[in-house]
């Protein structure tokens, strides 16, 4: 049985820092294709739909592994699963660097997705174990926020590396980051303040089914899932693949401006995360209200951009990436709802269920954008038009409609079974 920490010690900081660095590298690997999309179409001679398949497979593997990874973390602890994921990412990114054919590159991205899937849930479990309960929402947000520095490294230094070092050397350099981190995980990271390796009970198939069913049966887990589903996908689709082509081809911005816009989106994520973490910790009863307000703002700004006559002005695109970027840390609110709705022994499993939401939505959007671009681009190829991008980006409204409907639905159900006084007592440190 894991004992909840009551103080923050030097060991807490060191364990959290190592876990954070692994997550940062995972975000870097996940985002490294965003600025290499046009280079990938030339290297592998592929269409928009085939380019989207890279991200589609990566997201599909990531989303599909969330529940198995959650069960693995509950059974074997964060340290073992995190190390396994780091090794997988390192080897896969090295394979991607050396790939010269489209099928080989696809296989490499699949394993990048597998390794990526093993990171965030592990770090969430570490935060929930090593920090006092009332500090968990803040450090959960801070972890997600600082982890986005990986996307900054993918947006700016990776662009430079691809231009000056070439595809193979750039991606081999990226893969090398995992070697030093693996050593740090082995030396520093412990599963809990009382043990290096935390092992849960062996689970039979019937017990696994019961655990997952119990987590999903609680309306708070479902609310967390739909919160994650509704908030994240727009930022994920832009940062992972379609942002750079959209700004360059759809809005006629320069390559430098497109890179800066993607970087600004990451900075917006980093700025909003701690603020949302504080708000969630101080006002846990209003977590769903925060999500509804943020998603409504994202929908509004996208509507203005897509209906703007001609190309949207740069200042409006700045507003877009800032507001869309806030959706990233907003998705983390779903994990906090899941945490307060489930016992500690199935926390990682519940987090895995919730973490599927945003990545399922992102997967659908990435695929649909590629299909619509190919459909609306005369003669095919990568010469996308502004009109094609308006059609493609408008498909987001179907996903928002579903997500917001479900958030409202399960918000009502969750409030029927959750004790408001208990939630606010935790926020006050009672």
Residue 6 falls within a domain, yes or no? Answer: no
Q: Which alpha helices (H) appear in 45-148, and where do they start and end?
A: 48-76, 78-98, 102-117, 120-130, 136-147
Task: Per-residue pLDDT tens, the chain, 430 aa: give them.
Answer: 455 566 788 888 999 999 999 999 998 888 877 777 777 777 887 776 777 788 778 778 887 888 888 888 878 888 889 999 999 999 999 998 888 888 898 898 889 889 998 998 899 888 888 888 778 888 888 888 888 788 777 777 887 888 788 888 888 888 888 888 999 998 888 877 777 766 666 666 777 787 788 888 888 999 999 999 999 999 988 987 788 889 998 898 888 898 899 889 888 888 888 888 888 878 888 899 999 999 999 999 999 999 999 889 999 999 999 999 999 889 989 988 888 888 777 777 788 889 889 888 988 898 899 889 888 887 665 678 889 999 999 999 999 999 999 999 999 998 888 777 556 555 554 4
Contact 110, 57 (CB under 8 A): yes
Please give the structure tokens belonging to residue 126: 């570490």
Has residue 202 been placed in a domain?
no
343-to-3, 182, 214, 249, 417 alpha-carbon distances in Å: 12, 30, 10, 48, 15
Q: Is there a domain that residue 209 lies in?
A: no
Residue 427 domain-assigned (yes or no) = no
How many domains, the chain?
A: 1
The token pair at 25 is 């590298």
Give per-residue burial for 239-262: e unless 16+ CB within 10 Å, then b: bbbbbbbbbbbbbebeeebbbbbb
Let me know the angle formed at the C-alpha of 241 by 231 and 157, rounded to the nearest 5 degrees: 105
Helices (H), ranges, 118-166: 120-130, 136-147, 149-155, 157-164
Identify the CA nearest to 62 among candidates 121, 125, 127: 121
Residue 139 lies in a domain: yes
**Structural domain contains residue 206:** no
DSSP 184-200: HHHHH--SBTTBSS---
> Helix or strand or coil: residue 357?
helix
In the numeric block, which tokens belong to residue 263? 């970087």
The CATH number of whichever domain residue 300 belongs to comes to 1.20.1250.20
Within a 10 A sphere around the Cβ of 301, how many other Cβ atoms? Answer: 19
In a domain, 2, yes or no: no
Host domain of residue 293: 11-191+214-416
The radius of gyration of the chain from alpha carbons, rounded to an integer in Å, stands at 21
Residue 425 lies in a domain: no
Cα–Cα distance, 295 to 229 (Å, whole number): 11
């Amino acid at each position: 049985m894991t004992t909840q920490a009551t103080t923050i010690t030097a060991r807490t900081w060191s364990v959290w820092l190592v876990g954070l660095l692994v997550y940062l590298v995972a975000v870097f690997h996940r985002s490294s294709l965003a600025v290499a999309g046009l280079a990938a179409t030339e290297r592998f001679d592929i269409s928009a739909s085939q380019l989207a398949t890279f991200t589609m497979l990566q997201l599909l593997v990531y989303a599909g592994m969330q529940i198995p990874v959650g069960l693995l973390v509950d059974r074997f602890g964060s340290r073992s699963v995190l190390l396994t994921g780091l090794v997988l990412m390192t080897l896969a990114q090295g394979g991607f660097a050396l790939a010269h054919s489209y099928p080989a590159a696809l296989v490499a991205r699949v394993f990048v997705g597998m390794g990526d899937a093993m990171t965030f849930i592990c770090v969430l479990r570490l935060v929930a174990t090593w920090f006092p309960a009332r500090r968990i929402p803040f450090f959960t947000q801070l972890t997600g926020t600082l982890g986005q520095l990986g996307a900054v490294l993918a947006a700016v230094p990776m662009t430079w590396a691809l231009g000056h070092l070439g595809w193979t050397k750039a991606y081999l350099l990226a893969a090398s980051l995992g070697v030093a981190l693996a050593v740090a995980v082995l030396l520093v990271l412990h599963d809990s303040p009382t043990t290096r390796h935390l092992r849960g009970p062996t689970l039979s198939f019937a017990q696994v089914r019961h655990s997952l069913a119990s987590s999903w049966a609680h309306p708070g887990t479902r609310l967390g899932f739909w919160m994650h589903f509704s908030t994240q996908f727009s930022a994920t689709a832009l940062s992972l693949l379609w942002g750079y082509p959209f700004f360059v081809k759809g809005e006629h911005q320069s390559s430098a401006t497109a890179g800066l816009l993607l970087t600004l989106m990451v900075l917006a994520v980093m700025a909003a995360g701690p603020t949302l973490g504080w708000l969630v910790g101080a006002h846990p009863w209003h977590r769903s209200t925060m999500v509804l307000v943020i998603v409504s703002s994202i929908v509004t700004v996208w509507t203005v951009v897509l209906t703007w006559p001609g190309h949207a002005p740069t200042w409006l695109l700045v507003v877009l990436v800032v507001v869309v970027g806030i959706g990233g840390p907003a998705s983390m609110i779903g994990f906090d709802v899941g945490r307060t709705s489930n016992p500690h022994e199935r926390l990682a499993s519940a987090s895995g269920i919730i973490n599927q939401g945003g990545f399922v939505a992102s997967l659908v959007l990435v695929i649909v954008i590629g299909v619509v671009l190919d459909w609306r681009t005369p003669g095919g190829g990568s010469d996308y038009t502004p009109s094609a991008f308006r059609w493609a980006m408008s498909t987001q409204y179907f996903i928002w409609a579903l997500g917001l409907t479900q958030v409202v639905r399960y918000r009502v159900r969750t409030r029927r079974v959750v004790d408001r006084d208990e939630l606010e007592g935790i926020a006050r440190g009672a």
